[in-house]
Structure 1
Amino acid sequence: MNNNVTDIFQALKNLEGKISSLEKTVDDQQECICNLTRINDRLRKENRILKNRLAKYESPDKDSNNSSVPPSKERMSDEVKRRTKTLRKSTGRKPGGQLGHDGNTLLKSESPDSIIDISASYCTQCGHSLEDCERILDYVNQVITLPELRPVIKEIRHYKTICNRCGATVQSHKPRRRGGNAVIYDASVKSLAVYLSVVQFLPYGRIENMFHEIFGIELTQASLVNWINDAKAKAQPAIKKIKEYIMQSAVVGFDESGCYCNKRLDWAWIAQTVYFTLLFRGNGRSGKELTDRFGDSLERMIAVTDRHSAYFALHFLNHQVCLAHILRELQYLNEVDDKQQWSRRIESILQQAIHERNEHPQDIIPKEPWLKRLDDTLRQSVTSLGKDFQRLKNGLIRCREYMFNFLEDPLIPSDNNASECGIRKLKIKLKNSGTFRSELGADAFLELHSIVETAKKHDLSPYKAIRALWGSTDSYAMAFAE
């Protein structure tokens, strides 16, 4: 009996040891599992990061051809590709003028400034002088050359005249301003300097070098600043007139872009029509900038814009979104997944609508059939295609009412390219100069550029438009009205 009891206690003791051993094993395994779980979580996180990095190389890059990324933000490789790749399809014909193409050549002037006769002076056979021999005209060509570029200095002498009868001293000119310069530049020099800055986008240093090397004129950058500010002041009547015409217009295109000024980022805005362009600087990118500038006249305008939310927060009469922006985004989706057809269907609808307008430029085309085709495509699920597809779909649903208004009104364009081209010149200026060092300089460029762009839309010379600022700005404003 005692042995049996001893055996039971021993068995229980052995069992307790085994249980303790199992508990230790379980604890060790639990610790190992926790370590593996932490390692697995870390690896999952690293895998997600690496996948995101790899996606940048597997997915097509966004550039100015397939998105709203401006050319100034492109990588060098994308710029090279854009500049060397054409969107035209090959016709198989050789480059150059085709059969039946009317060639163009320079026409000879009816009244050349000088005539130079070229003939032989001695006979190459016998060596006899040909001075008094008969000459036969062989052919005539004209050479165009630039005159020697040197300044013309005019000395103007102002006299006072003493009347023989009463002895009074009479002068027909204004008294000389105290401290005034004895040598000044006239409007032709000032106009050219402003033209090079505003139209050719040259920085002040380059303009200074150009005048020195070509004309032999020593300018200072302070003089350039004064002339541009003077041109800005003289342009105010024309700027006021341009603004009035835009406020009275039924269809106006808008756009905005960053403008580096005085060590901060401002925003440059453009409002333009077929005949007028107005650029101005604002502190922000909100719709308040347009409200402060144009007031209640916005309620009578149809705004042609991109899909920036600030425009749709304003009380415009109606909207037309830029289809060129949407087509670029659709091009990107085509490159992301070249096997899906959803983005290609929408692309085809928009392209066909634009083609319909181009084929019938004066007709009123109902937009309901086109909206129905668009809605049928937008109802399709794109969840499986990725977030880029879903994002564009949501954006198109929000602006669907404003996509085909150009069909019902021939005055409404299908894109906002004119506004983008008008404000693009600002980016070229910033690329050349880096920044505007003062608010006055930024405003001067934008206002003078408004004059230049408006002049182009009236088939007027930009240089003559700037030159007219030192003449009669009112008469030039009337030229815009005509």
Structure 2
Amino acid sequence: MIRALWQRLEAAERRIAELEARLAGPGKTPDNSSLPPSKGQKPDRPAKTKRAGPRQGSLGRQGGGRALVSHPDQTVTAQAPACVHCHTALTEADQVLHGRYDKIDLPVVRPVVTRVERYAGHCPCCGAITLAPVPVGLEESAPFSATIVALAIYLRVTHALSYRRLTQVFLHLYALPISEGALDAMLRRAKPCFDGEVAAILARLRRSRIVCSDETTVRIDGRTHWNWVFQNDQVVIHVVRASRAAAVVSAVMAGHRPRIWVSDLYGAQQGPADLWQICLAHQVRDCQYAIDAGDTVFAPRMKMLLWAVVLARRRKRLAESTRRTYLRRLDHDLNAIMGLAPGHPHGQRLRQRYGKVRNSLFTFLEHPDAPPDNNGSERELRPTATYRKVTGGFRSPWGADLFAAVRSVVGTAARRGRDAYQAIRAVLDGETVVQPG
């Protein structure tokens, strides 16, 4: 019994030492982990210096104020009738243009209600009833037009407005009273339009050569689910599933095997394609964490090597021979780094990792159409994280599916330079956002 107690004491001491070492390690920050920038410690801004002269223009435009519109709706000409000093009358010839500027206003918005009176004819010959046809868009169904439906979906999905706030927006800004139940029914009726468009986007994804993927958590009725994203430079697909397993990837791809897969090191993301490009942005942060933890042998050198991601910004402009030269040089440097013997646990962990996945570090140099990182997927998931924080999640699976479908449409349309509202309205009108081809 004493021996058993002694063994338990030794195990407890080892566990305590392990936990103390973990507490003594560096904290997770956006610079050395996957924490979002919003969770990082914000330093104080330096004191602003007093500006001399006019304000400098923002990025992409000149300074000096807002540019005049080319075709104003109306022009008001102000001329002085008399001199303010001696009251002498002034003619048009006595005056020159002193300045020109625009005053911008928004019109008062109110609902435009169209009353439809539809007649039914009773045939005096056969006795049949004939309903009069109505114009397109004025069918006898929901009372709200596609414009209102598109606006509700746009505000709900892209700006994370709750039903309660949506009712307030419609009432206060548009003088349109609409209940939360009517909003819910409106979104339910619109869902099949987006489901059909998602099917078209998914069909295009299953022909893609390159697929980038990532996932983040969402809450449905108080339970954790996963928002998966699969995207490339043509399409974006969001799916919400209760699982984070590789079966989700298999179900989405439906037997299609892309040439290149871009992801982080999560196990379910490994193996669905012929080649794999590891997200180098993640690896740079992991190396930084090891440096912060005290590794001075392996992580600093590996981080410098991974800065080859800088080359990726101009990889498509490089000749193939130049890219191969860079690749041989990087492979030679990687051999030298892998020959190091770090004594720090974090350095040892990284060395073991890159020994297994070194062939997937620089795939982007052999295939310049593949990105060196998975930042595109993370950008697609950022609105999901914002929506989760603002609303707390979804109450029903259909709401999560509609959110994923709308995000898929908006992301795909953005590849073609279309904004979110235009994309939503196009789908409601029966158009597609998928690029032809």
TM-score scaled by structure 1? 0.76
Deviation digits for residues 166-185 of structure 1 (CA, Å, limit 9, x no counterpart): 999754336xxxxx78x822
Match status 1:357 vs 2:312: yes
CA distance in 1, matches of 2:129, 2:207: 54
Q: What does the per-residue CA deviation read over 1:343-381, in whole Å, with 9 as the maximum and x for residues that have no partner?
A: 111111111x22333344243323344223213212211
State yes or no: 1:333 paired with 2:290: yes
What is the distance in 2 between the residues matched to 1:219 and 1:433? 20
Match of 2:179 in 1: 220
| 1:396 has 2:354 as partner | yes
1:114-153 maps to which residues of 2 (within 5 A)?
114-127=74-87, 135-153=95-113
Q: Residue 303 of structure 2 is aligned with which of 321, 324, 347?
A: 347
Q: Percent identity?
A: 25
Higher helix share: 1
Q: 1:286 to 1:144 in 2, by over 3 A?
A: same
How far residue 291 of structure 1 moved from its aligned partner, in angstroms, is: 0.7
**Pair 239,195 (structure 1): closer, same or farther in 2 beyond 3 Å:** same
Say whether the 8 Å CA contact 2:221–2:395 is kept in structure 1: yes
Decide whether aligned partners of structure 1 residues 160 and 132 sit closer, same or farther in structure 2, where only a CA change above 3 A counts.
Answer: farther
Deviations 1:254-313 (A, max 9, x none): 111111112211111110010110000122111111112212202x3311000001122x
**1:316 and 2:278 are equivalent in the alignment:** no
**Aligned partner (choices 48, 56, 60) of residue 26 of structure 2:** 60
Matched, 1:481 2:436: yes
Do structure 1's residue 113 and structure 2's residue 76 form an aligned pair?
Answer: no
SS in 2 for 1:481: coil
- 8 Å CA contact 2:261–2:272 kept in 1: the answer is no
* Letter of the structure 2 residue corresponding to residue 425 of structure 1: P
Contact 1:231/1:469, CA 8 A, preserved across alignment: no
Counterpart residue number, 2:390: 432
1:287 is aligned to 2:246: yes
State which drifts further: 453-462 or 200-209.
200-209
**1:471 counterpart = 2:429:** yes
For the residue of structure 1 that corresponds to 2:197, the secondary structure is helix
- Unmatched tracts of structure 1, length 5 or more: 1-33, 86-95, 175-179
CA–CA separation in structure 2 for the residues paired with 1:246 and 1:258: 23
8 Å contact from structure 2 (residues 297, 347) kept in 1: no
- What secondary structure does 1:207 align onto? helix
Alpha-carbon distance in 2 for matches of 1:413, 1:480: 21
What is the CA–CA distance in structure 2 between the aligned matches of 1:288 and 1:333, rounded to whole Å? Answer: 33
> 1:393–1:229: structure 2 CA closer, same or farther, 3 Å change rule?
farther
Q: Tell me what 1:455 maps to.
A: 413
| 1:129 CA displacement | 6.8
DSSP 3-state at the match of 1:354: helix
Secondary structure at the aligned position of 2:299 is classed as helix
8 Å contact from structure 2 (residues 315, 368) kept in 1: no
Secondary structure of the 2:413 match is helix
1:280/1:42 CA distance change after superposition, 3 Å: closer
Contact in 2 for aligned 1:193/1:207 (Cα 8 Å): yes
Structure 1 residues 108 and 332 mapped into 2: Cα distance closer, same or farther (>3 Å)? same
Normalised to the residue count of structure 2, the TM-score between the two structures is 0.83
**Which SS does the other structure have where 2:349 is aligned?**
helix
User: Computing the radius of gyration over CA atoms, which structure comes out larger, 1 or 2?
Assistant: 1
| 1:155 maps onto 2:115 in alignment | yes
Alpha-carbon separation, structure 2, partners of 1:287 and 1:46 = 38
The alignment's C-alpha RMSD in Å is 3.5
**CA displacement, residues 141-166 of structure 1 (integer Å, 9 cap, x when unaligned):** 11122111222223333345789999
Name the aligned partner's letter for residue 157 of structure 2.
V
Unaligned runs of 5+ in 2: 47-54, 135-139
| Separation in structure 2 between the aligned mates of residue 152 and residue 133 of structure 1, nearest angstrom | 47
Aligned residues: 413
Give the aligned partner of residue 80 of structure 1.
42
SS in structure 2 at match of 1:445: helix
Q: Are the structure 2 counterparts of residues 237 and 47 from structure 1 closer, same or farther at C-alpha, using a change threshold of 3 Å?
A: closer
- 2:261–2:275 CA contact under 8 A, matched in 1: yes
Find the aligned partners of 1:379 and 1:433 in 2 and give their Cα distance: 50
Against the structure 1 CA distance between its residues 359 and 111, is the aligned structure 2 distance closer, same or farther, given a 3 Å change threshold? Answer: closer
Distance in 2 (CA, whole Å) between partners of 1:257 and 1:156 is: 47
State the AA in 2 paired with 1:59.
G
Match of 2:364 in 1: 406
Aligned mate of 1:272, from 201, 226, 231: 231
Shift of 1:45: 6.9
Could you tell me which residue of structure 2 aligns to residue 245 of structure 1?
A: 204
Is the alpha carbon distance of 1:202 and 1:244 closer, same or farther for their aligned partners in structure 2, counting shifts above 3 Å? Answer: same
User: CA separation of 1:119/1:46 partners in 2, compared to 1, >3 Å: closer, same or farther?
Assistant: farther
Q: Is the 8 A contact 2:293 2:346 kept in 1?
A: no
